[in-house]
Amino acid sequence: MHAPSRDVRGGHPEQREPGGGWGGAPYGAGTPRPGIAQSPPRAPGPRREFVEAFDAPAAPGAREASARPAGDPSAGTAGPQGPPAGGPGAGAADTAGSGADGSRGDGDRDGDRDGDRGGGDRGGTQAAGRGRTLTGIAAAAVVTVLAVVVTGQVGDARQRDRADRAVDAPGRGAADDAASRSDQRTTPPRAAPSRPAAPAGPATYEQLMARQFPLDPAMKGSGEFEAVPGTDRAPGGGRKFRYRVDVEKGLGLDGRLFARAVQETLNDDRSWAHGGAMTFERISTGKPDFVVTLASPGTTGVWCAKSGLDTTVDNVSCDSAATDRVMINAYRWAQGAETFGPGAMLAYRQMLINHEVGHRLGHNHRTCQTPGAPAPVMQQQTKSLEIDGVRCRPNPWAYPGD
């Protein structure tokens, strides 16, 4: 049984055994050698020799000394290649490497502190410290090499994994591997820039006349009228009729569109201007022959009643013969009639103008005589296309032709 050592390194005590690499010890462990000053116990902390090893450049021969492990018991003995690297003074250095207190590797510091060891002892110890420095550098290099090797192995493993996937999924592995790399990915073709849509032009006359417009069938306007400004000259020969177009205020309908419809309808060769018998001219000032008036259902009823006509039953239009106004019911102008349907608004509006102006020109109501034939323009087509069991087709013209 050996007494425990005073200096403890690495978290466990060192115990010397007689003989072998530790050398003979005539005194028990922990017994100070006679004539050798003992250094005070060192405080726990980092080993100073590791720090001090960087203070001076390596001496010649230190590389060979550092090649041996720090705890190698054979340090200081001649290797198979020849004598120790320290030369004749190597024995003194080896003795300094083993302290009487059981510690190793501190001979350089103890020798420097006590000053009782020769120059060869100090030089050998310094060489050993520098050797340990080089050993640390070499260890760092080994770690770096291992990191490179591990990185290469990981890359090889990834390549083998891709190869395995390519074998497991024939015809797909290479494509998938290439597609997974952004630098090899095919950029999707850029769509050709779409041409900006041509701006929609204003609606044509035919398009506007084919539309329905919202209007309350029970609406009663202000009863005030205003003439559509401007003039439309008579386009043909024959007897000339001058007329004005008035629109009741507040209807919300396009008065200019209405005035254009009256002018184009009356001067159409299928209308009363057929064969050049007459022509029509629109004015906005002066004395007209009659006034074509667009008015709300309530106002239309008032003006038609002046001539003894009741338009409120079927919400229809009239020629108020006792006055100068030909009344066009704004509800019928906006919504049409079931007899024509919403798909024939242009034709219905043409019929409405021709029918009421026809009364002003002296034409009375007529009825259809031939089944399937165009209904006479003077038939009350807003109410019905069938009279006395004879049903005719809707017709807007006084002279529809074949």
Look at residue 58 and tell me whether its pLDDT is greater than 60: no
CATH 3.40.390 in the chain is located at 205-391
> pLDDT grade, residue 161 (50/70/90)?
low
> pLDDT grade, residue 237 (50/70/90)?
confident
Structure tokens at 227: 């003439």
Look at residue 359 and tell me whether its pLDDT is greater than 70: yes
Is domain 205-391 annotated with CATH 3.40.390?
A: yes
Q: What is the pLDDT of residue 134?
A: 55
Picking from 335, 375, 313, 326, the residue whose alpha carbon sits closest to that of residue 353 is: 326
Look at residue 141 and tell me whether its pLDDT is greater than 50: yes
Q: What share of the chain is helix, strand, coil (3-state, %, to 5)?
A: 35, 10, 50
Q: What is the pLDDT of residue 135?
A: 59
Helix or strand holding residue 91 (H, E): helix 90-97
Picking from 264, 249, 257, 266, the residue whose alpha carbon sits closest to that of residue 210 is: 257
Q: What is the percent of the chain with per-residue pLDDT over 70, rounded to a whole number?
A: 50
Q: Determine the average pLDDT of the residues in 166-186.
A: 47
Give Cα separations from 79 to 10, 48, 65, 148 (angstroms). Answer: 28, 29, 11, 34
CB 123 within 8 A of CB 61: no
Q: Determine the average pLDDT of the residues in 281-292.
A: 97
For residue 309, give the 3-state DSSP assignment: coil
Look at residue 239 and tell me whether its pLDDT is greater than 90: yes
Structure tokens at 200: 């929609």
Picking from 129, 123, 134, 52, the residue whose alpha carbon sits closest to that of residue 90 is: 123
Beta-carbon neighbour count of residue 368 at 10 Å?
22
End-to-end CA separation in angstroms for the chain? 141
Look at residue 259 and tell me whether its pLDDT is greater than 80: yes
Backbone angles phi, psi at 327, to 5 degrees: -95, 125
Q: What is the percent of the chain with per-residue pLDDT over 90, rounded to a whole number?
A: 49
Look at residue 182 and tell me whether its pLDDT is greater than 70: no
> pLDDT grade, residue 401 (50/70/90)?
confident
Which residues lie across from 386 on neighbouring strands?
391
Q: Look at 105 and 382; give whichever has higher pLDDT.
A: 382
Q: What is the pLDDT of residue 191?
A: 60
CB 251 within 8 A of CB 296: yes
- The DSSP annotation for 103-144 comes to -BS-HHHHHHHH--S-HHHHHHHHHHHHHHHHHHHHHHHHHH
> pLDDT grade, residue 59 (50/70/90)?
very low
Give Cα separations from 361 to 175, 326, 364 (angstroms). Answer: 87, 11, 9
Q: Look at 185 and 213; give whichever has higher pLDDT.
A: 213
User: What gap in Å lies between CA 1 and CA 13, rounded to an integer?
Assistant: 14
Q: Determine the average pLDDT of the residues in 191-219.
A: 85
Q: What is the pLDDT of residue 200?
A: 74
Picking from 29, 33, 24, 21, the residue whose alpha carbon sits closest to that of residue 5 is: 29
Identity of residue 398: A
Following CA atoms 101, 103, 104, 110 in sequence, which dihedral angle do they give, to the nearest 10 degrees? -70
Average the pLDDT over each of 66-80, 249-263, 304-318 and give the range with the smallest value.
Answer: 66-80
> pLDDT grade, residue 113 (50/70/90)?
very low
For residue 306, give the 3-state DSSP assignment: coil
Q: What is the pLDDT of residue 194?
A: 66
Q: What is the pLDDT of residue 158?
A: 60
Q: Look at 402 and 77; give whichever has higher pLDDT.
A: 402
Helix or strand holding residue 158 (H, E): helix 119-168
Q: Determine the average pLDDT of the residues in 265-273.
A: 97
CB 98 within 8 A of CB 126: no
pTM comes to 0.53
Structure tokens at 14: 């060192």
Average the pLDDT over each of 105-114, 188-197, 372-381 and give the range with the smallest value.
Answer: 105-114
User: What gap in Å lies between CA 128 and CA 85, rounded to an integer?
Assistant: 11
Give Cα separations from 45 to 39, 101, 133 (angstroms). Answer: 17, 19, 18
DSSP-assigned letter for residue 98 = B
> pLDDT grade, residue 165 (50/70/90)?
low
